[in-house]
Amino acid sequence: MNKVLFLLITIFLLSGCKSRHKQTNRVPLAQVDKVILYRDDVPELIQHGINEGDSAALYQNYINKWAKRQLLLKKAEDNLTPALKSEIEKQLEETKSNLVIYQYQRQMIQEKLDTVLTDAELESYYATNEKSFILNSNIVKALFIKLPLETPDLNKIRLLARSNDHKDLQQLETLCYQFAEKFDDFDGQWVPMDKLSVELPESVDNEENFLKRNTFLETSDSTSEYMVSISDYRLRTSLAPYEYVKDDIKRIIWNSRRFEFIQSLENGIYNEALKDNSFKIY
């Protein structure tokens, strides 16, 4: 390590070092040409080192990386062709314009766009666009349980899992919280059958036939017992339940409103400019 630089950094850390840049009260650490690295430019993670020695080492490493980048940048600026410099300026201007426009649109959306979506509006969209909500996978409402093979009262758990009685299900939940490796009712929501299949030691052959004929599945491997209780199902190519696609409908309507709002915003600004003669086509 450069001893002079190490000593300089340590002095800055221990004493706070009165800035030679009195007009700003900032502590300079390094300089490349006219670009200065100040201590408050250094990330907080480095400023709060474990001890003075470690912090000084972190500072020096950061300064070295900063200097290399600045020196490389200066070398590039000095040697790029005028054509490339011009292209870079165009790209920077385009990027700046896009960012300014995006932030303005975002601000206007937050201030002006109606974000309230009623259930009636969502249900109406669902009814009008049923063909857009055809399932491409089998879905179920189900209960999944994974238990160690040595679980006590396994037969009782099996019987409770097959029951639709609310009190039985409460008792099942209590037992599973004591013994189960995994217990999930998916909050009573629809889930793809694939989500259950990946939890099982072996896949279900012909899901459609299975779902039509069974409401309960039990299998095991060398360590665990698996149970799946199915309370409802929908097959692929059928209409998706409204609850299953409700969030998708919200996103669709929201994106549509957003697009229409931005179009209206742009057209309004354009027409206002024509009216005020602040925009002309020659």
Please give the tally of structural domains in the chain.
3
pLDDT reported for residue 142:
95
* Assigned domain for 87 exists: no
Of the two residues 237 and 16, the one the predictor is more confident about is 237
The verdict on residue 169 lying in a domain is: yes
CA torsion sign for 75, 80, 82, 85 is negative
| Cβ proximity of 179 and 225 under 8 Å | no
What does the block give as tokens for 44? Answer: 């907080």
Query: Is 1 a residue whose pLDDT tops 50?
Result: no
Is the confidence at residue 32, as pLDDT, over 50? Answer: yes
Assess whether pLDDT exceeds 50 at residue 223: yes
pLDDT tens digits for range 195-222: 999 999 988 889 999 999 999 999 999 9
Q: Give the residue numbers spanning the domain of 252.
A: 119-129+241-275
Answer yes or no: do 219 and 247 share one domain.
no
| Claim to verify: residue 177 and residue 219 sit in the same structural domain | yes
* CATH code at position 162: 3.10.50
Is there a domain that residue 92 lies in?
no
* Residue 261 counted as domain residue: yes
Of 158, 144, 122, nearest to 244 by C-alpha is: 122
pLDDT average, residue stretch 244-250? 97
pLDDT at position 6 over 70: no
- Cα–Cα distance between 137 and 191 in angstroms, integer? 10
Distances from the Cα of 206 to the Cα of 63, 138, 193, 210, 213, angstroms: 63, 11, 11, 6, 11
* Cβ atoms of 58 and 48 closer than 8 Å: no
Q: Which amino acid is at 189?
A: Q
Q: Are residues 71 and 207 in the same domain?
A: no
Classify residue 253: in a domain, yes or no.
yes
Portion of the chain with pLDDT greater than 70, in percent = 87
pLDDT digits (tens, 9 = 90+) for 175-186: 999 999 999 999
Residue 43 burial by Cβ neighbours in a 10 Å radius (0-12, 13-18, 19+) = exposed
Q: SS3 string of 168-224?
A: HHHHHHHHHHHHCCEEECHHHCCEEHHHHHCCCCCCCCCHHHHHHHCCEEEEECCCE
> Residues 173, 211: one domain?
yes
Is 234 strand, coil or helix? strand
pLDDT at 35 over 50: yes
**Residues 125 and 260 grouped into a single domain:** yes
**88 is a domain residue:** no
Q: What is the pLDDT of residue 51?
A: 61
Query: Is 257 a domain residue?
Result: yes
- Predicted model pTM: 0.72
For residue 14, the model assigns a pLDDT of: 42
Please state the rounded mean pLDDT for residues 136-150. 95
Same domain? For 226 and 245 the reply is no
Element (H, E) at 110: helix 82-112
